[in-house]
């Protein structure tokens, strides 16, 4: 059994309520439920968490160093600003997949830059919340190689 961390950054607690024309109507609870079902069907487990605080995300990435086979991360707006999250991910040895619900490249120019992309094995943007399941499915496949 493998454990995968699925981490979410600021404002994603408002998923389903915030700008639904961009982020959709599903809640983060819905996303957690579908990821949990996917992991459990393959005999694995997830740690699913969200924080509006940069340090909390960093602390979870540090925990992942000894506990997780891989990380799915949607850092929210920290994607575009946080060298500290990039440094934490660089201290994690397993695969990292970056997820964005929206296509950040179709949006404002300040969203086009991602520090995390310089570390991630893959980047999924614009698939809506389905991107989480695609990312987790790929981590599961990688762990079975």
Q: Which residues belong to the annotated binding site for substrate?
A: 74, 80, 87, 101-102, 111
Where are the extended beta strands (E) located within the chain? 3-8, 45-50, 70-74, 96-100, 122-125
Place of tokens 């991360």: 73
- Least separation in angstroms between CB 72 and ligand DHK: 12
Draw the binding track, 30-69, toward ligand DHK (x: CB under 6 A; -: no contact). Answer: ----------------------------------------
For ligand DHK, the closer of residues 44 and 78 by Cβ is 78
Please give the structure tokens belonging to residue 134. Answer: 């695609």
Q: Look up 55 and say whether it is catalytic.
A: no
Cα-flanking dihedrals φ and ψ of residue 57, to 5°?
A: -60, -40
Q: Is 101 in the site for ligand DHK (CB under 6 A)?
A: yes
Determine the Cα–Cα distance for residues 127 and 113; give it in Å rounded to an integer. 18
Selected binder of ligand DHK within 4, 76, 119, 136 (CB under 6 A): 76
| 23 noted as active-site residue | yes
Q: What's the rounded Cα separation, in Å, for the pair 28 and 50?
A: 9
Among 50, 51, 82, 102, interactor with ligand DHK by CB under 6 A: 102
Q: Which of residues 124-143 bind ligand DHK (CB under 6 A)?
A: none
Kindly state the DSSP code that residue 75 receives in the 8-state scheme.
-
Q: Hey, which residues are catalytic here?
A: 23, 100
């Amino acid at each position: 059994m493998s454990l995968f961390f699925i981490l979410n950054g600021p404002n994603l607690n408002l998923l389903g309520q915030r700008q639904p024309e961009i982020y959709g109507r599903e809640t983060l609870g819905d996303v957690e439920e579908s990821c949990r079902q996917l992991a459990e069907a393959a005999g694995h487990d997830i740690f699913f968490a969200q924080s509006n605080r940069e340090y909390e995300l960093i602390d979870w990435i540090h925990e992942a160093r000894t506990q997780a086979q891989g990380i799915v991360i949607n850092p929210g707006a920290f994607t575009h600003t946080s060298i500290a999250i990039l440094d934490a991910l660089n201290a994690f040895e397993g695969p990292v997949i970056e997820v964005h619900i929206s296509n950040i490249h179709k949006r404002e120019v300040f969203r086009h830059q991602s520090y995390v992309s310089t570390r991630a094995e893959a980047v999924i943007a614009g698939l809506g919340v389905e991107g989480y399941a695609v990312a987790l499915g790929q981590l599961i496949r990688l762990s079975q190689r």
